[in-house]
Structure 1
């Protein structure tokens, strides 16, 4: 079986697209249950019921396949958040929608959270790998900073440094999710409500 050339003009067939998606889903499952280091090509092939050569036909390496899995997870995450922001009636409502969406997606997609933490975050919160598409921690909260800026320009938020505030709110979200992953008995809905109150107290005008 000859791997497809990277610059081949041929579009993948329906069967090839379905097989690639199957491999991505198997990769997500394995990373979320076994961790990234234990997710080998052989393990992925076994989970998918294929030979290792068949996996390599669709993805030239473990790195290519795991990055494709991460890209899919991040794209679905972004789409979920973007959809909910689009429904917001104004800047204040958009910021609360952002907090709810960030936690809501992770609550509904626990295995995706494991993929993100396994592949992107070190124990100290740093970034393990750099993948095109804003996976770096430096740009993680740019969207929230932009929402905060819009709120200030609309006159509904007090004046503060938007980047610093975005990092503070984002850090609070990360902290709640990290605790929930270790202690799943945490009432995440109640925690979300507390984070909403925390956020509004931090950003709203007092006059």
Structure 2
């Protein structure tokens, strides 16, 4: 998800203020991962960071805006992680492999962020703007993956199939891993990644 718009409560952007906002958002991620949505308040975040609640209130209009920024932050981190890796691929087949492996590697290496995101999304109705923000991100992710798959078809690397249907299916499989990780701390993400890559690459190559 890309956006050049500033959240409503953001003050003029000095480096120090931007760093403080990011610190607060990171603190919110940790509190969400440990205490869940219900246990996350401005006071809980302040206590975790060792700052006053007033510091948070200076930078954010309230809990809803902090959580909105958590979603924006996690989505931006995922995009920054994946985009250069996929772009560096030498073929569409390699790009598909990297798309899956880098996505799942991000989820595995950022479990607190994934739990925090899940907690916010599960309570999205209480956080104005979050459903729209995440929905737009998902729409863009599916469109980008569809473009990758259809590019592989045009290059003769992939067979004939619905690029959109395949993109939706693959995104759903990747996104399901977050729930699997939460249900089982020992869930082997690397093995799941390998299985998913093998399945979708073989399916894409079928004539």
Question: Same fold per TM (> 0.5)?
Answer: yes
> Does residue 106 in structure 1 map to residue 107 in structure 2?
yes
Query: What is the CA-CA distance between 1:170 and the residue it aligns to?
Result: 1.7
| Contact 1:99–1:196 (CA under 8 A) maintained in structure 2 | yes
After TM superposition, list the pairs within 5 Å mapping 1:53-68 onto structure 2.
53-68=54-69
Larger RCO (CA within 8 A; separation ≥ 6): 2
> Does residue 72 in structure 1 map to residue 56 in structure 2?
no
Query: What is the CA-CA distance between 1:134 and the residue it aligns to?
Result: 5.5
| Contact 2:71–2:134 (CA under 8 A) maintained in structure 1 | no
Distance of 1:74 and 1:35 partners within structure 2: 19
- Residue aligning to 2:44: 43
- Residue aligning to 1:145: 146
TM-score (norm 2): 0.84
Unmatched tracts of structure 2, length 5 or more: 1-7, 124-128
Distance of 1:120 and 1:159 partners within structure 2: 35
Cα pair distance change 1:46/1:74, threshold 3 Å: same
The alignment covers a number of residue pairs equal to 195
Unmatched tracts of structure 1, length 5 or more: 1-5, 123-127
Structure number with bigger Rg: 1
Distance of 1:80 and 1:180 partners within structure 2: 20
Identify which range, 65-74 or 12-21, moves more after superposition: 12-21
CA distances 1:36-71 after superposition (whole Å, capped 9, x unpaired): 232111111222222222211111111111111221
| Contact 1:120–1:135 (CA under 8 A) maintained in structure 2 | no
SS in 1 for 2:131: coil
Query: What is the CA-CA distance between 1:135 and the residue it aligns to?
Result: 4.5
Identify which range, 33-42 or 87-96, moves more after superposition: 33-42
CA distances 1:6-45 after superposition (whole Å, capped 9, x unpaired): 699x843443233222211111111111112321111112
Distance of 1:172 and 1:11 partners within structure 2: 41
RMSD between superposed Cα atoms in Å: 2.3
| Contact 2:96–2:148 (CA under 8 A) maintained in structure 1 | yes
Which structure dedicates a bigger proportion of its chain to helix?
A: 2
Cα pair distance change 1:41/1:137, threshold 3 Å: same
- Residue aligning to 1:117: 118
- Residue aligning to 1:89: 90
Cα pair distance change 1:139/1:175, threshold 3 Å: same
Distance of 1:31 and 1:131 partners within structure 2: 21
CA distances 1:153-201 after superposition (whole Å, capped 9, x unpaired): 1111111111111111122222334222211222221221111111112
